[in-house]
Chains A and B, each alone.
Chain A
């Protein structure tokens, strides 16, 4: 990869989120309305423990503890910003939008109104080896959210 590619991958926004992650750390949550998952990227060993707390169909909190590269850490921080306070349906739609961007091999034009800082990951989509880094916490979030929704139905 060239120096230009490198700058496309490591946008300032990504490096900022990496150095100053939003919402990091596991927080207490009502066990009836929350779920915790642990996801691992077996090829590189990056790990995230992520807890989702839902209340009245809204994502009340996403808290996480993670180790990994700048891309995986920044994407967890952006995830926190984008889904907390949204309804589960809205958050799932944002998840789908981010997934589409990351799986687009660099051909998808990101919508800043939906993805906000997440648009900085458009450059990552061109590096197949790093896409899984960006998706680690997002996949963990979807898994945990689905567990809460399935587990306590209308209570959530």
Chain B
């Protein structure tokens, strides 16, 4: 079947992802609907990483030999590719981290330590109730350690940010506003520009968790008006068809220069004497030690791949699949979707409840039909608590998802209802 907005070369795209060919126990074909958890990898990412390990492996930025030069060049080329992927105003503003959590922790830790942005007693940090735990806990730790106050936006019943008290929440005491661009549980797309404008007006910096946004929304930071552009943006490699073990923190040079170093060690220094050290400029200031070299290079190949397919086209595809999935899911008796029901204003992760069956049992029965979804709290316990549920089942699509896979999900959910004798 064909839906308006699907990637025109979907069959070709699917061939790029070897894992989609495999079958599971009992000969079931794989229906992978867990891409918000981690995305699958195209052959070009796998090949790029293997080629690097087979032919170019060496440490970077210090080995005075040909392999060292090749490795360094490939690593720094990956930085260029990531910078292009998000439209970074400067390539040196792209810092490689281990994952999005480390990127967010880098910011939340260094803000406690020193510099003109230092958060202290009487200051306020604002987050939201729909954050992933990795954008909640670092800020709880920061405010607990510094005596600052943590505040947060609540959610509406539709699963959107409740902005009715934005002027009280974001005030002259606010130092940091940190929020997700796209919710990993509710799918909600947040009004980053509007919130950033408010935060900048009171002199606060804005940190955006783009872990779910980077895979599916075109991002062009340089094209955003300065007062609407976040100051720091974090995302992880493995959700944008790259490998695990590599994440990205983009920050404006102005803010990154104001933050003190995070981890100390090799590569992040300018000079070291026993009495003290001076530090390298960005990005190396925040990249102590040997980085995940082949992972960064794999990420470069991944964002290059997405760029070739086109992020606008991927976004349209996700919207088409999401609309189709919302329709299919709501045809299942007793099923309630958590989050906005309008595909145009949400991402491709859809969490739902099914009356009478616990999410783990749903996921288990779905797995017996080859359908892979996530069940649990999706590292967003407060958002679940807001909707009075302990856990949910989540399906999430990506550029390789076909409508027939959504059909398979809906059919497997009907089977789950009959398995648990719900009628």
Contact = CB atoms under 8 A, between A and B. Distances in A.
Interface of A: 1-3, 5-6, 9-10, 15, 43-47, 67-71, 73, 130, 133
B52 interface: no
Nearest to B358: A69
Contacts of A133: 360
Contacts of B358: 68-70, 73
Most buried by A among B25, B357, B361: B361
B25 A1 contact: yes
Contacts of B421: 15
Interface in B354-397: 357-361, 364-365, 367-368, 375-377, 381, 384, 390-391
Contact of B361 (A2, A67, A70): A70
B411 to A, nearest CB: 14
A44 B364 contact: no
B365 A2 contact: no
Contacts of B26: 1-3
B364 A6 contact: yes
A67 B390 contact: yes
A83 B360 CA distance: 27
A45 B361 contact: no
A9 B391 contact: no
Contact of B25 (A5, A67, A71, A130): A5
B368 A6 contact: yes
B364 A1 contact: yes
Given A44-B376, A69-B359, A70-B420, 18 more contacts: A1-B364, A1-B367, A1-B368, A2-B26, A3-B368, A6-B364, A6-B368, A15-B420, A44-B375, A44-B391, A45-B376, A47-B390, A68-B390, A69-B360, A69-B361, A71-B360, A71-B361, A130-B364
Contacts of B384: 45
Contacts of B359: 69
12 contacts: A3-B26, A3-B368, A6-B364, A6-B419, A10-B419, A15-B421, A45-B384, A69-B359, A70-B358, A70-B420, A130-B364, A133-B360
Interface of B: 25-26, 357-361, 364-365, 367-368, 375-377, 381, 384, 390-391, 419-421
B78 to A, nearest CB: 33
B contact face: mostly helix, strand, loop, or mixed? helix
B390 A2 contact: no
Contacts of A15: 420-421
List the 8 shortest-distance A-B pairs measured between CB atoms, nearest first. A2-B26, A69-B360, A69-B358, A6-B368, A45-B377, A67-B390, A44-B376, A70-B361
A73 B360 CA distance: 12
Contacts of B360: 44, 46, 68-69, 71, 130, 133
Contacts of A44: 360, 375-377, 391
A38 B44 CA distance: 49
Contacts of B420: 15, 70
A69 B367 CA distance: 15
Given A1-B25, A47-B390, A70-B358, A6 B376 contact: no
B79 to A, nearest CB: 35
Contact of A43 (B25, B357, B376): B376
A2 B25 contact: yes
Nearest to A3: B368
* Most central of B357, B358, B376 by chain A CB within 10 Å: B358
Contact of A6 (B357, B365, B390): B365
Contacts of B361: 10, 69-71
Contact of A45 (B357, B367, B391): B391
A15 B422 CA distance: 12
B364 A45 contact: no
A84 B75 CA distance: 64
A97 B359 CA distance: 29
Nearest to B359: A69
A44 B374 CA distance: 10
Contacts of A130: 360, 364
A30 B365 CA distance: 42
A46 B377 CA distance: 10
Contacts of B390: 45-47, 67-68
B31 to A, nearest CB: 14
Contacts of B367: 1
A47 B377 CA distance: 12
A5 B368 contact: yes
Contacts of B365: 6
A113 to B, nearest CB: 29
Contacts of A3: 26, 368
Nearest to B362: A69
Contacts of A68: 358, 360, 390
A43 B420 CA distance: 24
Contacts of A2: 25-26, 368
Contact of B364 (A9, A46, A47, A67): A9
A67 B360 CA distance: 12
B36 to A, nearest CB: 17
B308 to A, nearest CB: 37
Nearest to B27: A2
| Of listed B368, B375, B420, residue having the most chain A CB within 10 A | B368
